[in-house]
Structure 1
Amino acid sequence: MRKVNLFIVVLALFFVFTGCTQGQKTNENPAGGQGNKELSGKEESTVEPIEFMREYFPPDGSKLFFKGEGNEFAEYHIEVTQPHKNYFVIFEDNGGTIIRKIFRVEKDRIDIIDSNIIGIVEKNFPSLQEMDSMKASSIYLQKPFTLGSKFDDWTVVETDLTIETPYQTYDNVFVIEEKVENAVNRKYFSPGIGEIKREAVMVTGDGDTVTVTSTLESLGE
């Protein structure tokens, strides 16, 4: 029973504190999966590095809804705000908890500089000067997005995938993976939209495998 309780806590923390999803350079298909070809390794990127990293957030003002399976906390929605050029704020609401995360976009990575549980969604953010002075608490995403690349506890384990979601099919998807005790967490990213899927797989004390997923279902503004 103790192992099962621990499993539930791990899954809940994963879906509450792993963050979503992500910005983009303005284009004709803001939610499309046909982003920069650097991911496939077939063609060198021609966009500026900072612009390329912004492709891993949805457009300012977007609202994304994720279908959950396997756990009550797996279903959630996010709201995206871009208060400053290289900063994004994401509010993630799973029906029980609202998390506000602030991201800073660098040329080769995206940092999380703040993450807090809040009561309600309020769009009163720190000033640009304050955000510039904030230290990163963790790395959300880092180039290169090539097989085997590592950052923090994450490793790129798959690249150049085609993934079907309830919303649409995405190309050039890559997957990052984190291994923890008795569990594996994965995030799926596509340029032009960012995080489109989360997956947690855990083996219980009884030897059963439980999979919990959150997959993009709809997008609006």
Structure 2
Amino acid sequence: MMLSGKGVFISKTSEKKRQNPKTKKPKSLYYAIFTAIFALAALTIFLQPWSTNEANKALLPSNEENDSTNEEIGEQPNLPLRNYFKQDGDVAYFLGMGNEYASFKETTAWLSDNYVEVQEDNGGAVIQKVYRIQQNAIELVYEEIIEEEKKSFTLAQLNQLDSLHIILQWPIVSGETFENKSVTYPVNFKTPYKNYDNLIQISEAVEGGKNHFYYDDEDGLIAEQYIMNDGDEVTSVLASINEPPITK
């Protein structure tokens, strides 16, 4: 059967349609890709301020750096007065002049972060002392001669002890007074153990004279003096730590 020219064109066109049918899938694919790109761009814009803040945080100094800065401008770490005691287990030897009991052995034992026990053995008696370290003061909370064995405390019991008196007060300011004690700082003092040039001197008037105590921020107590009104003096000075002193 013969087809006209028009019929042949229609027939070929129909055949082409069958071979390459039109579809909307490519347009849908392009639309999906475009939507994804747009969403990604929007998300990037949304997150940019947060990312910038995180980057800025990374440039800030760490806590350690801040702590260092605080120390440089005078701010002190927690319990700075801990430094005015010797290390746990240290045995210090003091040489005395003016009295047979002026020489003594001092043993330090840390009971907790803010409680320290000091035993003083002068050959005639052993005295047990317990100190409480506060943020702004060192308090003597227990002082007794050991008869048979030293007294033991739980932390709860230590917390219940009243302050007998204050040993040091923070901040250290020369000329300040507390509990009828006066502060002189800094003070030089020569001992058989070493020469000190940055000591705290605590002075107090007592019956018959005046007491002076000298403290170092690494070695703790390094000397005691009792100067009587008549000029006589009893002195104890640090001679060695953790080994008996060499005496001539």
Q: TM-score band, normalised by the shorter chain?
A: 0.7 to 0.9
**Structure 2 vs 1, CA of residues 78 and 120 (structure 1 numbering), >3 Å: closer, same or farther?**
farther
The equivalent residue for 2:156 is: 129
The answer to whether residue 228 in structure 2 is matched with residue 211 in structure 1 is no
The equivalent of 2:228 in structure 1 is: 202
Superposition map of 1:91-170 within 5 A? 91-120=119-148, 122=150, 125-156=152-183, 158-170=184-196
Q: Once the 2 structures are TM-superposed, how far is the Cα of residue 48 of structure 1 from its aligned partner? A: 1.0
Cα distance between partner residues in 1 of 2:174 and 2:75: 21
* RCO higher in structure (CA 8 A, sep ≥6): 1
Between Structure 1 and Structure 2, how many residues are aligned?
172
**What is the Cα deviation at residue 181 of structure 1?**
3.5
SS of match in other structure, 1:84? coil
2:84 partner SS: coil
Q: Bigger radius of gyration, 1 or 2?
A: 2
Per-residue CA distance 1:41-64 (angstroms, 9 max, x = gap): xx75454141x1100100000001
Q: Give the structure with the higher percent helix.
A: 2
% identical aligned pairs: 31
Alignment of 1:11-160 (within 5 A): 44-50=73-79, 52-120=80-148, 122=150, 125-156=152-183, 158-160=184-186
Q: Distance in 1 between matches of 2:74 and 2:82?
A: 14
1:69-110 per-position Cα deviation (integer Å, ceiling 9, x unaligned) = 011111111100001111000000110011101111000001
1:17 counterpart residue number: none
Task: Point out the structure with the larger strand share.
Answer: 1
Structure 2: distance between partners of 1:188 and 1:181: 20
One-letter amino acid of the structure 2 residue matched with residue 77 of structure 1: K
Alpha-carbon RMSD:
1.7
Q: Among 163, 184, 207, which residue is 2:210 paired with?
A: 184
Q: List alignment gaps of at least 5 residues for structure 2.
A: 1-71, 244-248
**Structure 1 Cα separation of the partners of residues 91 and 74 of structure 2:** 28
SS in structure 1 of the partner of residue 158 of structure 2: helix
**How far apart are the structure 2 equivalents of 1:164 and 1:121?**
35
Distance 2:176 2:148 in 1: 37
Q: Secondary structure at the match of 1:144?
A: coil
Moved over 2 A (4+): 43-47, 119-122
Q: Give 1:171 shift.
A: 2.8
Asked if structure 2 preserves the Cα contact closer than 8 Å seen for 1:171 and 1:190, the reply is: no
In 2, the alpha carbon distance for the partners of 1:197 and 1:189 equals 7
Q: Which amino acid aligns with 1:137?
A: L
How much does 1:144 deviate?
2.7
- 1:178 Cα deviation after fit: 0.6
Aligned pair in 2 of structure 1 residues 61, 120: CA closer, same or farther (>3 Å)?
farther
Gaps of 5+ in 1: 1-42
Match of 2:30 in 1: none
Task: Give the TM-score taking structure 1 as reference length.
Answer: 0.73
